[in-house]
Amino acid sequence: MRTLLLAFLLDGFLPVLLIFVGLGLIFGIISRQRAINLVGIIVLFALLCPFVYALFDHLSLWLLLLITAGFIVCIGRVVLNAFFGKGATDHFVGQVMFAMFALPFRLLGAFFRRRRS
C-alpha cells in the first residue's frame, strides 16, 4: 500500500519526502531498513517517471481505458482492505469476480429464454 501511495505523489514532492524520511530516521521514528526501502522506492519512481510518461503518451485509448479500469479496481481493493480487513475484502472481490464472469452467460440465457416464448 505504501508503494501505491507513493505513486500518487507529484515529482516536486519527492525531495520533501526524502527529507521527511531522513528526519524520521534521525529521530528514531522509522527503522534503518524501512528508511532504505522508502529511499529506494522514491529513487525508483524518480528514475522511471519519464519512461512511464512516454509509454502512456503512445498507448491507444482503449488500452488506456483498460489500464485505468484496472487501476480503479486496485484502488477500490486497497480502500476496502483498509475499511473491512483482508478476509472480508477477499470474499467481496471473489463475489464480484464471479458475478462479472457469470454475467455474459446469464445475459445469453435470458436472451434465449425470451426468444423461445
What are the tens digits of pLDDT across the range 65-111? 998 888 888 888 888 888 898 999 899 989 998 999 999 999 999 88
**Residues 30, 107: Cα–Cα separation, whole Å:** 53
Q: Which domain holds residue 88?
A: 61-117
**Residues 74, 76: Cα–Cα separation, whole Å:** 5
Residues 65, 114, single domain; the answer is yes
CA angle, corner 60, sides to 57 and 64, nearest 5?
80
**Residues 103, 99: Cα–Cα separation, whole Å:** 6
Looking at residue 3, its pLDDT comes to: 56
Residue identified by cell 423461445 is: 116
Number of domains observed in the structure of the chain: 2
The pTM (predicted TM-score) of the whole model is 0.52
Do 11 and 35 meet the contact criterion of CB atoms below 8 Å apart?
no
Looking at 58, 74, 92, the residue that finishes a domain is 58
Residues 51, 92, single domain; the answer is no
